[in-house]
Chains A and B, each alone.
Chain A
Amino acid sequence: QKEVEQNSGPLSVPEGAIASLNCTYSDRGSQSFFWYRQYSGKSPELIMFIYSNGDKEDGRFTAQLNKASQYVSLLIRDSQPSDSATYLCAVTFMEYGNKLVFGAGTILRVKS
């Protein structure tokens, strides 16, 4: 099993809808969870981090963590065409210290 898995997509949603991006991870003493957004030709930009089970909201973004089920998700409310990008999930595992392990990323397309 890959350590951090994401559906590569593309995930297409209409403008104004909720985009739901999912990420699963292996059970290796996971610690911290991150969502990065990467526009084509640009470097990754940190948009959310979460450490504890439950929901964390920041503007239109909500990160949801469920450690028992080993998944972390990112919800984007009122999706805009400017949200079209690749979303990378990253996890730190205790055995690796503070190194980020990235998923392959999910391409999101918001259609106007």
Chain B
Amino acid sequence: SAVISQKPSRDICQRGTSLTIQCQVDSQVTMMFWYRQQPGQSLTLIATANQGSEATYESGFVIDKFPISRPNLTFSTLTVSNMSPEDSSIYLCSVEGQGVTDTQYFGPGTRLTVL
């Protein structure tokens, strides 16, 4: 499976600021996904990011709050904008598996705390 890295691994931010999370993969992948995992909860898909097209957002998530870039086949960023304490979560990127239908592999995650 692909090697996935995320930056930063954790951050503590002030209310009203924005944070951009980077996701880097060591091989080219068509589809990348961004998830949120709130404390004690399961994973919720924020959006799907395909290279060369606008990200597709899930119900309850909007581009103004979570803008996503996908400039090439190995990189994506997720920005959490105008943060509030409710945005405190782990943010995870994942990539589709190669040659195995529907599989996804996750990066190490970014633990965000908003004060």
Contact = CB atoms under 8 A, between A and B. Distances in A.
What is the interface of chain A mostly: helix, strand, loop, or mixed? strand
Contact of B42 (A43, A46, A49, A105): A105
Contacts of A105: 42
B102 interface: yes
Given A34-B102, A46-B97, A102-B42, 11 more contacts: A31-B102, A43-B107, A44-B43, A51-B101, A88-B42, A99-B33, A99-B48, A100-B45, A102-B43, A104-B41, A104-B42
21 contacts: A43-B90, A43-B106, A43-B109, A44-B92, A44-B106, A46-B97, A46-B104, A49-B102, A51-B101, A88-B42, A88-B43, A98-B31, A98-B96, A99-B33, A99-B48, A100-B43, A100-B102, A100-B104, A102-B43, A102-B44, A105-B42
Interface of A: 31-32, 34, 36, 42-46, 49, 51, 88, 92, 98-100, 102-105
Interface of B: 1, 31, 33, 41-45, 48, 90, 92, 96-97, 100-109
